[in-house]
A and B are shown apart, each in its own frame.
Chain A
Amino acid sequence: MNTALPYRRSLRTLVALGLGAGVLSGCSSDSEPAASGGSGDCSSLEGETITIVVPYEPGGGYDSYTRLVAPYIEEEIGATIAVQNQPGAGGLLALNSLLAEDADGTTLAIMNGVGAGGSSIAGAEGANFSLDDFTYIGRVASDPSLLVTSATGPYQTFEDVVAADEFRWGSTGPGAEDYVTSSLISAVFDIPGEVVTGFPGSGETELAVVQGSIDGMSGNLTSRRGAVEDDTQTPVLVVGEERPDWLPEDVPTVAELETTEEQSELLDAHLALIELGRPFVGPPGMDEAAMSCLRTAMAAAMENPELVTESQEQERELAFLPGDELEGLVQDLMDAPPAYSELLATLY
């Protein structure tokens, strides 16, 4: 099951892969642009305006990533790229309406793998799409989570958390990434506890962790960096493939934990969902030429040294994965054990 994972990060950190950090099967790649669609004929898109829809308000992570990458893809294609924010229904609204857009490559969206993908797998209300509906252009970033606990609380390692009599997570609400990840970890490792929901945003949840009124939370890995280095939050578990170098060595990743087969099946499926990360997707059945153009252009743009430098300066780590590999990942997810989708269905 544990095969090597695609690694081509030209980016800041490369931590020891450890004992098969990867969980995903079947995808290996190198740093070459996706070869699938041939040379990438962009004649149909040249001079056009391509809209990339961000399903959230301006200023958030998805927005920043899109605005960061867009100019470099623009350069490759010779088209104008307009970034549009279309918040609504926790990001589902924009993806639902993407289904009906023209599949000529002029409308794309950035997807929230865990949020939107999870809703779709769970069959949650509001997600009117299946993950394999979309045309995958390429992944901008992976989206691992970090479980943190209060620095002043009694639980300073993941073992403490598992051994807790009652562990209280904080979350914004069902269906949110923090809710899904923390509930899933609780369920898989049989941690007795509850998820306190209703926080207006991750900022307020963090505040409650720092104050110690909840025991811990799950959150975006890179966003936790400041608090971890500031020693107000203790990192306990990386829910993702690799541990960045700013985290202490003794913070395990999920793959480094000892698990039963049943547990690892669920975790693997969830890691695949996390691995989906933040991809650019297009409407179903996109025009072949436009798709190969976009895939090739994105692959080339993500290699651009200027973009790489800029993303490092912004501490926005890029993790490109070509569209055809994302398709494989989606296929894995569609084939995930039913126990996983049943578990997810309780969380949305």
Chain B
Amino acid sequence: MLSEAISGLTQVFQPLPLALMLLGVAIGFLVGILPGLGGAVTLALMLPFTFDMQPVEAFAFLLGMWVVTSTTGDITSVLFGVPGEATSAATVLDGHPMTKRGEGGRALGAVLFSSALGAVFGALVLALAIPVIRPVVLAFAPPEFFALTMLGLTFVVALSGKHLLKGFIMAAFGLLIALVGLDPQEGTQRYTFEQLYLWDGIGIVPLVVGLFGGAEVLQLMLSKRSIASADGGATPEASLSGVGQGIRDVLRHWPLVIRSSAIGTGVGIVPGLGGSVAQFMAYGAAQQSSKTPEMFGKGAVEGVIASGAVNNAKDSGSLIPTIGFGIPGGAGSAVLLSAFLIVGLNPGEEMLTTSLDVTFSMIWVTVLANFIAVAAAFFVLKPLTRLTFISGPLLVPFLLLLLALGAYTASNSFADVLVMIVAAIVGVVCIRYDWPRVPFLLAVVLGSLAERYLFLSYSLFGWDWLTRPIVLGIGAVMLLAIVGPVVRRARARSRAEKRPEQSGVSA
């Protein structure tokens, strides 16, 4: 196995694959910055160019492009509050507030560096998983997927902040939105209002772009100031000098990086869950374990680190079922699967035996491309950070166009733009009246999956699915995830009761 690992590396370090990887990284870099235009779409557009390539060349090009989009998607999230990808929404929550108070450099340093570490972690897991890849994939069936979606939903508790009741309402609202469309078992139309557009449900990309980006742009229009606050002595130079601090933050919070990467890789393996779920699971977990959970959503560097690491770790995770069985773990790896066929590789046993060196070259590419992208990003950090210090109205037309395009490219329909506008209204109302947005989004993402997998679990296994070992294990983790914060709340409350005036009506 070691010799294949080395052979994979030397195959990547040939002039042509290396050049193609750089080209891929460059394309992915730009595409990641454009909101809406996701990695999967770009892969599909670039697929025809790989027809004449050798396997290693093709994967250097495609993988290089793909893994980079999740890194650069975080950049717009941090700087403008407009997620570059649906998977970069969690980065907005803390990254953007940091930018506003003049710490954009620190936030970017943290998110980029933790992205790189996350990628390395994911690649390491992928490499180590090779001997057991097939049994691991086979151990996950709808009951396990369902348990994972439920685990994801328990993070509603953590992500609701102080407003638990509001959090639950928003989560129920999100689940309701997830129900729009044809029902998965019988094709009944639910809440579709006779609109064909709604048959496939509400698109996640327009929703994310509106929910997070819309509010930021409106705020910029209202205040007419620059994004980063000029008072308090924040300057572009001061902000940029924070990059180093961001990197140190990441090193200081290394257990967080590992845990978030592990969540990313784990969720990535599961077909169908994907990055939009993983980011919030990692974010919620980071908040739960933080010493200052109340700072989350207001610019906690831990939130930025978690969402950076999880994003890049999940890519390697979703390659695991693709390589092992030819079953894609997400939209991006589904397109990569066609690339396998184009270059004449059969995913499955072959990738783990005779073509093992190609598998390793893929792992090397994910690591290398990430490092190159992060290095390149540090290079353009300066001009980008400066943008947040220029006058707000200058950015407004540009950002409005980004919002519109980000939504429209989801399915090339103006209805996507309407969804984005409605989501933006929801986002603004949530912020204005202090209702939590994140449980809503989490529930939208998880809702339809939860229903599907619940019914599938029952159809396939009857009630026996409840006793499957992995399901029980995830159940135990869920219990901990719920009990933990409750205990903490209770403790905080008993502290608070020492100050009689504060004990609210709710107690």
Contacts and interface: CB of A to CB of B under 8 A. Distances in A.
Interface stretch (B111-119, B324-332, B488-496): B324-332
Contacts of B186: 173-174, 197
B40 A207 contact: no
A126 B199 contact: yes
Nearest to A200: B272
A203 B328 contact: yes
Interface stretch (A1-9, A85-93, A110-118): A85-93
A198 B197 contact: no
B10 interface: no
B342 A314 contact: yes
B48 to A, nearest CB: 6
B200 A88 contact: yes
A173 B41 contact: no
A68 interface: yes
A229 B44 CA distance: 26
B200 to A, nearest CB: 6
Interface string B262-274: 0000000001100
Interface string A202-218: 01101110110110000
Contacts of B272: 200-201, 204
Contact of B185 (A173, A207, A208, A226): A173
The B interface is mostly helix, strand or loop, or mixed, namely helix
A196 B186 CA distance: 10
Interface string A267-302: 000000000000000000000000000000000000
By size class, the interface of chain A is 35 or more
A230 B348 contact: yes
A142 interface: no
Interface residues of B, number: 52
A96 B344 CA distance: 37
A149 interface: no
B182 interface: yes
A207 B412 contact: no
A305 interface: no
A38 B288 CA distance: 73
Nearest to B52: A313
Interface in A64-97: 64, 67-68, 84-90, 92-93, 96
B344 A203 contact: no
B448 to A, nearest CB: 8
Contact of B196 (A126, A172, A226, A232): A126
7 contacts: A86-B412, A88-B197, A172-B184, A199-B456, A201-B271, A225-B346, A227-B326
Interface of A: 57-60, 63-64, 67-68, 84-90, 92-93, 96, 125-126, 172-175, 196-201, 203-204, 206-208, 210-211, 213-214, 225-227, 229-230, 232, 310, 313-315, 348
